[in-house]
Amino acid sequence: MPRLRRGIALVLVAAMAFLVPTLLALEGQEVVQIRTTAPDGSPRVTRAWVADDDGAAWLEAATPDRAWYRDLLRDPRFELVRGGATTSALAAPQPGPEGHERIRRLLREKYGWADAWVGLLQDTSQSIAVRVTPR
């Protein structure tokens, strides 16, 4: 029985060693809400990181198949909730190497270790930058 308890304790410690830094990485710095409309007309709310550059806010679709990104391809109008303020916005995806390199650099600079940690969990090699323009 003591061996089983030790085993369970070890599993719990290992889980916490993974979950705590992951939660801190994902939620420990600025996180915004992206409010889009799903294909069936229902609202979709997604939490994401944001960075600023060249007078605009930038988002990253980690992969081209992200639901919120697909929503924006159908209809670029959305709401961005940042710092408690809601802004009506238009999305301008910037596919290709230039957009990808820009958003990766911006998020790496802003989120530091958190970006590196999340990079271990999510492949962003095909990510797409999305420029946010208030409307």
Cβ-based neighbours of 34, under 8 Å, separated by 6 or more: 45, 46, 47, 48, 59, 68, 78, 79, 80
Parent domain of 111: 30-134
CB atoms within 10 A of CB 109: 11
Domain assignment present for 58: yes
Q: What is the pLDDT along the chain (135 residues), one digit of tens a residue?
A: 788 787 776 777 666 666 666 556 656 689 999 999 999 999 999 999 999 999 999 999 999 999 999 999 999 999 999 999 999 999 999 999 999 999 999 999 999 998 998 888 889 999 999 999 999
For residues 34 and 59, what is the distance between their CA atoms, to the nearest angstrom?
Answer: 9
pTM, rounded to two decimals: 0.83
- What's 122's domain CATH number? 2.30.110.10
Domain assignment present for 83: yes
Per residue in 7-45, pLDDT tens?
776 777 666 666 666 556 656 689 999 999 999 999 999
Query: What torsion, rounded to 10 degrees, do the Cα atoms 123, 121, 34, 43 define?
Result: 100
Q: How many domains does the chain have?
A: 1
